[in-house]
Structure formats: C-alpha cells, structure tokens
C-alpha cells in the first residue's frame, strides 16, 4: 500500500514540507544500515488524538542509538515534543509515527563515529498492518527458513534499520509461498518472533511468550502492554523457550506489535491452531488492547499522551 503523504515531516528541529524531507544519496545510513527507528501509533480518544506509550518508544529509540554508539543530538523531552508537533501538524487523529535517527551525509566508511547524527519524524495513516481480515479471522503463518539474527552477531535489542534485512528475507519467503507472515526461529531452533511482531501462545489457559533477550527478539512495547493487560484480566503470562511443535500444538496463538496490534494466528505451516478461529483469550486481549489504545480504560490512561 503506497504511503499517503501528510503535510509536514520533522527534521533536525524543524517541521519541513513532506516533499522537502530528502537526504543525499551518499547518506551514511543508506549504505550501511546504521540507523535506528521507532514505530508508534496515535489513536483517536474522547479527549482528542493521543500517542500510545510515547515516552517508552522514545526511550527505546535512545537505547537503540546507545547500542549502536550513536549520540542523538536531541533528548527525550525534545523528541517527545517533536512527535507531538508532527502529529498535530498532520491534522490526523489516527496515524503511524516513524522516528528515525540516522547518520547523515559527509563521511563514508565503516567507522560511524565521525558521522553527524540526524533525526526525522514522519507520520502517515496506516490501517491494519496484516489486513482487516487477518485481525478478524487470524493470519496464516510460515516458519521461516531464515533464522532470527543471533544476539552474538548483532545487538538484537536495538531497533536498527540494517537488522531488518533478516525480517525482509523472511517476509518475502512467506508472502511468495502464499502466507501472511513469517515466524523466525533462533539458530538453535527456538521460536523467536515474527518479522515485525512478538509471539504469544496460549496453552491450557496460560499465556507463554519467548524471553526476548534469549531468542534475539525485540523487546516489544505492545508485548509489555499485553502482559500487563493479560495479568489484569487474570491470566498468567510466562516467559519460556518454545519449539516449533509448541506452536503447532497451541490452543491459541497471536502476534503483537505497534503496527500489527494484536493479531490472531489461524494456522502455522498449514496446521490449524486450536479450532482455527481466534480463541477466547486472544479475543479478550485483542478487544481490551483496542479499548486501551483508544483511551476507554481508566486504569491505563497514563499510557496515552495527548497531542496539542
């Protein structure tokens, strides 16, 4: 789906016109994948548009930069304001927000340290990432032949652009084979995560998710939200290493991510999960998540940062 332009993009401290938000072709990060980014969503609430867990996302952006030895020339508060200003300028009440910190034009070569760090924030409307039908009925997953990045090869806790080659390869393989999404395993064969989502399985009424640092998965903010919501709904959530058969044999399974939100898994490698219909625990979490991000649940209102 092509990006729908909005009016302004925040670049290095100012809002510039969408068409003017360009970089030189010799921009360092374009050559070596040395950029870090975030994916955030704003939702309409009764009090107007609000950004979900904005400070947590900005905090993770700065942590990702730290892992790559990048010094971002803006602090957390400035970046929070930058996001709010960009969302406000768009006039949208629901949008996806993409902050990006990258190494600019001026230096080349593998030593990134002399490079200038630049920051941009763009927003655009982005509907159901894995499709409306996937949200309703569940998606078809394929276990990828590509292993998830090994935490000894790259700092997998960083949300860094270059690392997404791994996700893209898995996505291409899955889509070409007729599936909606891929799930990647570690080089030791433990389930890690989707190409842009964390994984949860439900077994005998318990919710289980792989420990992100052990399997090289991103420490998802949506996953954290889901763990909190699930606990408050009275479910037990455990972290445990899982094998492929644990997924095939799950009663329910779902993916979580900012872009994807909470998405039921209907089948994996053509094996139906549970009844094939989204299960009751998945539905309860999906429905609660939707209510929470729209500011409809009082106890989680602090997660929403109003714009303007």
Q: Is 159 a catalytic residue?
A: yes
Per DSSP, 161 falls in state G
Q: What are phi and psi of 69, to 5 degrees?
A: 60, 35
Per CB under 6 A, which region of 14-22, 87-95, 214-222, 239-247 contacts ligand PPE? 214-222
21 by Cβ neighbours in 10 Å (0-12 / 13-18 / 19+) ranks as middle
Task: Say whether 40 sits in a helix, a strand or coil.
Answer: strand
- 170 in contact with ligand PPE (CB under 6 A): no
- 196 in contact with ligand PPE (CB under 6 A): yes
Tell me the number of residues near ligand PPE by CB under 6 A. 17
By C-beta, is 96 or 115 nearer to ligand PPE? 96
Is residue 70 a contact partner of residue 112, using CB atoms and an 8 Å limit? yes
Per CB under 6 A, which region of 5-13, 106-114, 231-239, 258-266 contacts ligand PPE? 258-266
Task: Tell me what percent of the chain is helix, strand and coil, each rounded to the nearest 5.
Answer: 30, 30, 40
- From residue 21 to residue 50, the character string flagging contacts with ligand PPE as x (rule: CB under 6 A) and all else as - is ------------------x-----------
Smallest separation, CB 279 to ligand PPE (Å): 21
CA distance 105 to 117: 9
By C-beta, is 222 or 286 nearer to ligand PPE? 222
Torsion sign across C-alpha atoms 111, 116, 117, 121: negative
Binding test (CB under 6 A) with ligand PPE, winner from 180, 181, 197, 252? 197
Smallest separation, CB 246 to ligand PPE (Å): 19
CA dist 206 to 210, 232, 280, Å?
A: 13, 14, 12
Smallest separation, CB 16 to ligand PPE (Å): 22
The H-or-E segment that residue 42 falls in is strand 40-45
- 286 in contact with ligand PPE (CB under 6 A): no
Which two tokens mark 68?
């790559």
Catalytic residue, from 84, 142, 159, 171: name it: 159
State which residue has the least CB distance to ligand PPE: 39
Smallest separation, CB 218 to ligand PPE (Å): 4
Overall size of the chain counted in residues? 308
Q: Would you please indicate which residues are annotated as catalytic (active-site) residues?
A: 159
- Give residues in contact with ligand PPE (CB under 6 A): 39, 167, 193, 196-198, 217-218, 220-223, 256-260
């Amino acid at each position: 789906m092509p990006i729908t332009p909005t009016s302004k993009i925040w670049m290095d401290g100012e809002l510039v016109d969408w068409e003017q938000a360009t970089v030189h072709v010799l921009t360092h990060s374009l050559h070596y994948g040395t950029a870090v980014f975030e994916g955030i969503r704003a939702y309409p609430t009764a009090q107007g548009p609000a950004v979900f867990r904005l400070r947590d996302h900005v905090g993770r952006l700065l942590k990702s930069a730290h892992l790559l030895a990048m010094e971002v020339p803006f602090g957390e508060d400035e970046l929070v304001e930058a996001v709010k200003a960009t969302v406000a300028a768009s006039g949208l009440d629901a949008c996806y927000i993409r902050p990006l910190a990258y190494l600019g034009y001026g230096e080349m070569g593998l030593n990134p340290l002399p490079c200038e760090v630049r920051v941009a924030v763009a927003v655009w409307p982005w509907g159901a990432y894995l499709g409306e039908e996937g949200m309703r009925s569940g998606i078809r997953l394929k276990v990828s032949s590509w292993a998830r990045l090994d935490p000894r090869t790259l700092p997998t806790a960083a949300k860094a652009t270059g690392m997404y080659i791994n996700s893209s390869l898995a996505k291409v393989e899955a889509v070409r084979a007729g599936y909606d999404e891929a799930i990647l395993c570690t080089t030791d064969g433990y389930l890690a995560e989707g190409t842009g989502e964390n994984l949860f399985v439900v077994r005998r009424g318990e919710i289980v998710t792989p420990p992100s640092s052990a399997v090289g998965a991103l420490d998802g903010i949506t996953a954290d939200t889901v763990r909190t919501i699930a606990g408050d709904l009275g479910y037990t959530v455990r972290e445990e290493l899982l094998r492929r058969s644990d997924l095939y044999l799950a009663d329910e399974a779902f993916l979580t991510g900012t872009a994807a939100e909470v998405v039921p898994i209907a089948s994996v490698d053509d094996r139906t999960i549970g009844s094939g219909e989204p299960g009751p625990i998945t539905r309860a979490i999906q429905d609660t998540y939707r209510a929470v991000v729209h500011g409809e649940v009082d106890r989680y209102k602090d997660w929403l940062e109003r714009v303007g």
